[in-house]
Amino acid sequence: MDYLVLNLVFTAIAVLLYLSIRPGFNLKALGFAASALVLMTVVGDNFIVGTGIVDYDANKILGIRIGVAPVEDFFYAIIAILLVPAIWAATGSLSTDRKVVEDAAAKNAETEETK
């Protein structure tokens, strides 16, 4: 199985999980995080591929590269962008974090009122 097919399978799973959970994240913040992650992936992947730490079988990649890193290597960042928020929301961490923020805001408002 080549890298593209493998990546497409995992990307499809990530998309389905993301859509089924529909985490309530701000899309602007998610886009910013995605941009940062892809930029770090460009730098990191070019380093590890360029220095020979990681190599790919030329017969199993499309041949499209961003710098020296094959485009297939960037699927991992895209999958993470979808899976991390979905898993975060599915495990209840999102609602727990919102509760902590709301409780802190309420406590802060009470403190302000007593001044």
Interval 22-70: pLDDT, tens:
777 777 888 898 899 999 999 999 999 999 999 988 898 998 999 999 9
Is the pLDDT at 4 greater than 70? The verdict is yes
The answer to whether 103 and 35 have CB atoms below 8 angstroms apart is no
Instruction: Report pLDDT for 97.
Output: 58
pLDDT band at 96 (very low <50, low <70, confident <90, very high): low
pLDDT band at 19 (very low <50, low <70, confident <90, very high): confident
Instruction: Report pLDDT for 53.
Output: 95
In sequence order, which residues have a C-beta less than 8 Å from that of residue 61 and are 6 or more positions away? 2, 3, 4, 70, 71, 72
103-114 tens-digit pLDDT:
777 777 777 666
Is the pLDDT at 94 greater than 60? The verdict is no
pLDDT band at 9 (very low <50, low <70, confident <90, very high): very high
